[in-house]
Structure 1
Amino acid sequence: MSKFDLVIRGGTVFDGSGGEPFAADVGVNGSIIAAVGQDLDGKEVIDAKGCIVTPGFVDPHTHYDGQITWENRLSPSSDHGVTTVVMGNCAVGFAPCRKEDRQIMIEVMSGVEDIPEVVITDGVPWKWETFPEYLDFLEKRESDIDFATLVPHGAVRVYAMGKRGADRELPFIDDLREMTRLVREGVEAGALGVSSSRTMAHRDNKGRLAPVETSGDAELLALARGVKEGGGSCFELVADFNDVELGGLSEFEIIRKVAEVSDCPVNFTLVQGPHMPDGWRVILTETEKARKEGLELFGNVSPRGVGMCFGLNLSFIPFSFCDAYREIANLPLEEKVARMRDPEVRKAILSAKMEDANHTMVWLAGMFDKMVPMDDSFTYEPTPEQTVEGRAKAQGRDPREVAYDLLLEEDGNRILYLPVTNYVDGTLDVAREMIDSDATVISLGDGGAHYGLICDASYTTFTLTHWGRDRKEGRFPLNRLINELTRRPALAVGLTDRGLIKPGMKADLNVIDFDNLTLHNPVVRNDLPHGGRRMVQKVDGYVATMVSGQVTYRNGEPTGALPGRLVRGGSAKQSKAA
């Protein structure tokens, strides 16, 4: 028997199907899995003894639209076993876009996804106007992982309507027809589908609602028709579902209609949060019912709280919204820390009233009952006693004072983590209930965005360690979790060639030292264009990660191999296969 190009030998295979694990070697030829069996021989061998072998993870919800244009590593996702990402979510992106509208797209992306405007201005090369031209540019990009994209509703609306679209005016019939055409054009060129959004939280960097947030049902259905006509494989949507707590289902009903018109899977964000403390269960039940009726709906859920990170070297701290802090907010970290240690500055900040046009952020910044320091004892499922408020009660102090002192630890590098969603009464039981439904997909990594506020791209590692190994009660079988991170999300976005360890499938693979898999706390790096900052989160335990048969990471370090490419879907994929 001839040797395979590469063999992963002696590991326990979790093939992504959800079936029971088994001992086997995995043989790879070129970019394809060629064999799964015993005693395979390879020109190159990776020793997987004592390790688990899994398909590469698929993250359906990222925002690497900009990052892929200026760098070749889609970190932090690629640090955590992810081998395919879908970007262009939440209706934001950079194509289609006329030259005169670029500033609108920059301001929207900057505000909605917390990417500094100067990073986008310096980093994005703007060598396109239409969506097909954007894909042609991406076709030439090399990366450590594969990337696919959605057509963003916001860009489509502004391209079709100009300033009227940016100002959220109602579309005319001709505007809707043009939106359908633009989506069809993008999908035919290779986008997987389209993304939209209807949430009051999405605003540009000047605090204005993003262009699509008040769009009507007719507009969403126009997008759905474009996906259908272009042969697309998914539709992504973010909605507030504000009517659910009052007994309404109008937002969910439009999701059903979109699924019917687009004739493809619809992925929507499902979270438990202050705006929907109990209504998420109603949505989950309705989704399960719709799936039994034949509609492919997937609630995209986070396996932990969608977490905001506050720090002196990040976008916000709990005291960002008072004049006393604003006066020193832009100082270098060392100088800022020194000023904050001054008793007079401390008194001024702690006694100030927090005020800002962004009332939501002011409110969140005061949630000390959930906020917890990311120190050596940090856990994503903290007990109430570990929170800032819990510590303050134990010390007989004001939570604001405790938070202030914690921020100054580690020379001002301490981060306070706030699990905004899914964390109730000191547990993640809500997240567990969501994961346990066959109507959901684990997702919401948000890699490539929220560089100074959210670091959730490590959710894949967290899913394995917390829900598969470390939690005292309520763990899931590991074979199920790996299915939730591989084959299931791949199918939810129409990618049928990956997510399984099976001959003929794409050779995207992980070799993981599961017993020693360790997630470290985030740290800040200033390595974006124009010296922009971002959080990165390292991990131990990934022995090797492979994309298209090439080893891209060994023991957590990049090998320099860049086999990742644009994944085209829709008509473009079909014509290429023919």
Structure 2
Amino acid sequence: MTWDLVVRGGRVVDGTGLPPFTADVAVRDGRIARVGRVEGPARRTLDAAGAVVTPGFIDVHTHYDAQLDWDPVASPASWHGVTTVLCGNCGFTLAPARPEDTGWLAQMLSRVEGMAGPALAAGLRWAGGSFGDFWRRVEGRLGVNAGGYVGHSAVRRWVMGEAASARRATATEVAAMQDLVRAALHEGALGFSTSQLDIHVAHDGRGVPSNHAAPDEVVALAAVLAEFGHGAIEIIPRSFVEGMNAADRALLLACYRAAGRPLEIQTLTPLLPACPDGWEASLAFAHEAWRAGARIHPMLATNRLGAHLTLGSTFLFDELPTFRETLTMPPAERARRLREPAVRERMRHELADPTGRAFVFVWDVVCVEAVRDPAHRAWVGRTVPELAAARGQDPLDCFLDLSLAEDLETQFGLEMPPSDYFRECTARLRRAPPLLHRRRLPDAAAQRVGARRADARGGGPQADRRAGGGARPCRPRRRARGRVGRPGGRRPRAAPRRGAAPRARLPRRERAVRGGRGRLRRGGRQRRGAARERSVDRSAARAG
């Protein structure tokens, strides 16, 4: 008997909750055929001694919607063992879209997620259509499994046009939006997503369309999921920083009751300087909802808070009026305004007041990560205060001048230092029942806020090397489902209801057990079996 692939002698973490064990893993016909002592020849053998062998990871919060068009392996996630990505989070999708709105939606996505607009414009080949049309374009040509939510902002733009960014919807318009959500679920959408976060500002300086929705509209769109009996809701409430105010708590509970489906809240972190205890209030609300039978689940990013940004594409300053007004101007006007002393003084005053803000900049943790001009390589790796002292400047003036010297493409990194407080908080959060939902997928590569993708400079994975930069890819993280210390707990899925509508399913959760899919992760690199996996779950794409 000849195996297609044998991975020998690795330390297997199989996703079942068992302790790690040393074993061989054999693959045949794209599936794991044996785990244990494997004998016989193989067409390909990998020596995994000293490495960890795991199933492929699933990243449940990504914004690869556009990038999959030109980067079928979803880099850099797949470099770190991620084999399934969920797109369409935060209400930001490129479909459904009328042909005249595709460019607007791409620019919005670029702005709110810190992506390079020119890269999206050059790489995205999408002329508009339904949610199903969008995903059918990439089916069969991806190197990862992928699926997505249908996004509130795209739905609103289709129905209301320019008015989507200006006013509340009428009852007739809400009904039309419900029809679009319904059609997307028939075509394989994994649920409905929305953002109510004021910091999400589109490229035109206005709040994204979903921010203009009345609570009743959000609930009405969530309610469509009740017709299907599957899917989930993903939402960023306005007050997540301070721990969910009464209005947001009422909205979340109303959405859950209307849909009867799991609801995921973005996001818990103990390191928001403006409100360091907000996560505790959010967790308390989740516990109350849990005890009342509501499946409301906060997402936890277990890595330290961090970001990668350029002033040409970031949204992280949009809580500050002067920054928001200036950074959404046309490039020439934006550069002129950033040089004005009076504008800088207003920015300095706004930065000094942390009240009610999600992101507070501490200059000591802001450093230059990458530069466009090789002549500026000496900046890389140095903090803004270090460079400001060397130049005899105030940190804000230094930050702005470094950016202006490269047409706002200088890339900065922010990362909070490790602390015992953060470790204690995340350990407590990992044990919280609302974060251990039995259907919850492991967030393999916890997304950094505003994290830079490989396309962010429009040059692919070699761009930073050519520029002399040194941006670090996101480090892989795996959150165990179960008790802390157990490497990957798993609980059985509920049986499907008799007579239920066809489900839009993710690819089966991969496990390194016999009969599992033949894609493994060895150490820090992804290893595949001989047969390629299907890129998009065909049952999802054809459910309609």
Structure 2 length as normaliser, TM-score? 0.73
Q: 1:89 & 1:358 partners in 2: Cα distance?
A: 33
Q: 1:297 & 1:130 partners in 2: Cα distance?
A: 29
Judge conservation of contact 2:187–2:541 (CA < 8 Å) in 1.
yes
Query: 2:85 matched to which residue of 1?
Result: 85
Partner secondary structure for residue 169 of structure 1: coil
Judge conservation of contact 2:135–2:541 (CA < 8 Å) in 1.
no
Query: 1:303 matched to which residue of 2?
Result: 302
Which residue among 263, 269, 286 is the counterpart of 1:266? Answer: 263
Equivalent AA in structure 1 for residue 299 of structure 2? N
Q: 1:101 to 1:408 in 2, by over 3 A?
A: closer
Q: 1:314 & 1:103 partners in 2: Cα distance?
A: 16
Q: 1:496 to 1:102 in 2, by over 3 A?
A: closer
Alignment of 1:312-327 (within 5 A): none
Query: 1:371 matched to which residue of 2?
Result: 366
Q: CA deviation at 1:397?
A: 9.1
Query: 2:183 matched to which residue of 1?
Result: 185
Q: 1:356 & 1:400 partners in 2: Cα distance?
A: 9
Query: 2:430 matched to which residue of 1?
Result: 435
1:446-491 CA-to-partner distances (Å, cap 9, x unmatched) read: 67599369x9995552x36xx99xxxxxx963x53x559x999xxx
Query: 1:451 matched to which residue of 2?
Result: 456
Residue 503, structure 1, aligned to residue 514, structure 2 = yes
Residue 288, structure 1, aligned to residue 270, structure 2 = no
Query: 1:340 matched to which residue of 2?
Result: none
Judge conservation of contact 1:374–1:417 (CA < 8 Å) in 2.
yes
Alignment RMSD (CA, Å): 4.8
Q: 1:14 to 1:349 in 2, by over 3 A?
A: farther
Q: 2:160 & 2:22 partners in 1: Cα distance?
A: 58
Which residue among 206, 212, 215 is the counterpart of 2:213? Answer: 215
Q: CA deviation at 1:76?
A: 1.3
Alignment of 1:337-486 (within 5 A): 353-355=344-346, 367-372=362-367, 399=395, 416-419=412-415, 429-440=424-435, 442=443, 443-444=446-447, 448=453, 451=456, 458-459=473-474, 461=476, 463=477, 477=485, 479-480=486-487
Partner secondary structure for residue 209 of structure 2: coil
Q: 1:292 & 1:495 partners in 2: Cα distance?
A: 28
1:82-132 CA-to-partner distances (Å, cap 9, x unmatched) read: 111001111112111112323432332232122343333332222441112
Equivalent AA in structure 2 for residue 545 of structure 1? R
Judge conservation of contact 2:506–2:537 (CA < 8 Å) in 1.
no
Q: 1:400 to 1:476 in 2, by over 3 A?
A: farther
Query: 1:566 matched to which residue of 2?
Result: 536
Q: 1:169 & 1:323 partners in 2: Cα distance?
A: 23
Q: 2:302 & 2:205 partners in 1: Cα distance?
A: 30
Alignment of 1:124-203 (within 5 A): 124-140=124-140, 142-172=141-171, 174-203=172-201
Which stretch shifts more, 126-135 or 201-210? Answer: 126-135
Count residues in correspondence: 482
Judge conservation of contact 2:200–2:315 (CA < 8 Å) in 1.
no
Q: 1:360 to 1:495 in 2, by over 3 A?
A: farther
Q: 1:324 to 1:88 in 2, by over 3 A?
A: closer
Q: 1:510 & 1:88 partners in 2: Cα distance?
A: 25
Partner secondary structure for residue 49 of structure 2: coil
Judge conservation of contact 2:274–2:360 (CA < 8 Å) in 1.
no
Q: 1:122 to 1:232 in 2, by over 3 A?
A: farther
Residue 256, structure 1, aligned to residue 226, structure 2 = no
Equivalent AA in structure 2 for residue 367 of structure 1? V
Q: 1:16 & 1:504 partners in 2: Cα distance?
A: 14
Q: 1:263 to 1:77 in 2, by over 3 A?
A: same
Query: 2:29 matched to which residue of 1?
Result: 30
Which stretch shifts more, 564-573 or 257-266? Answer: 564-573
Judge conservation of contact 2:27–2:518 (CA < 8 Å) in 1.
yes
Q: 1:325 & 1:215 partners in 2: Cα distance?
A: 24
Q: 1:323 & 1:112 partners in 2: Cα distance?
A: 15
Q: 1:104 to 1:169 in 2, by over 3 A?
A: farther
Q: 1:285 to 1:398 in 2, by over 3 A?
A: same
Equivalent AA in structure 2 for residue 283 of structure 1? S
Q: 1:60 to 1:36 in 2, by over 3 A?
A: same
Q: 2:325 & 2:232 partners in 1: Cα distance?
A: 45
Equivalent AA in structure 1 for residue 256 of structure 2? A
Q: 2:457 & 2:194 partners in 1: Cα distance?
A: 24
Q: 1:487 to 1:128 in 2, by over 3 A?
A: farther
Q: CA deviation at 1:146?
A: 1.4
Judge conservation of contact 1:299–1:439 (CA < 8 Å) in 2.
yes
Query: 1:233 matched to which residue of 2?
Result: 231
1:33-65 CA-to-partner distances (Å, cap 9, x unmatched) read: 222222244332222112111011111111111
Q: 1:358 & 1:192 partners in 2: Cα distance?
A: 44
1:180-207 CA-to-partner distances (Å, cap 9, x unmatched) read: 2211211111111121110001111122
Judge conservation of contact 1:550–1:563 (CA < 8 Å) in 2.
no
Q: 2:299 & 2:49 partners in 1: Cα distance?
A: 34
The answer for unaligned runs of 5 or more in structure 2 is: 371-381, 436-441, 459-469, 494-503
Judge conservation of contact 2:28–2:530 (CA < 8 Å) in 1.
no
Equivalent AA in structure 2 for residue 353 of structure 1? R
Judge conservation of contact 2:83–2:145 (CA < 8 Å) in 1.
yes
Q: 1:18 to 1:452 in 2, by over 3 A?
A: farther
Q: CA deviation at 1:260?
A: 3.2
Q: 1:310 & 1:447 partners in 2: Cα distance?
A: 7
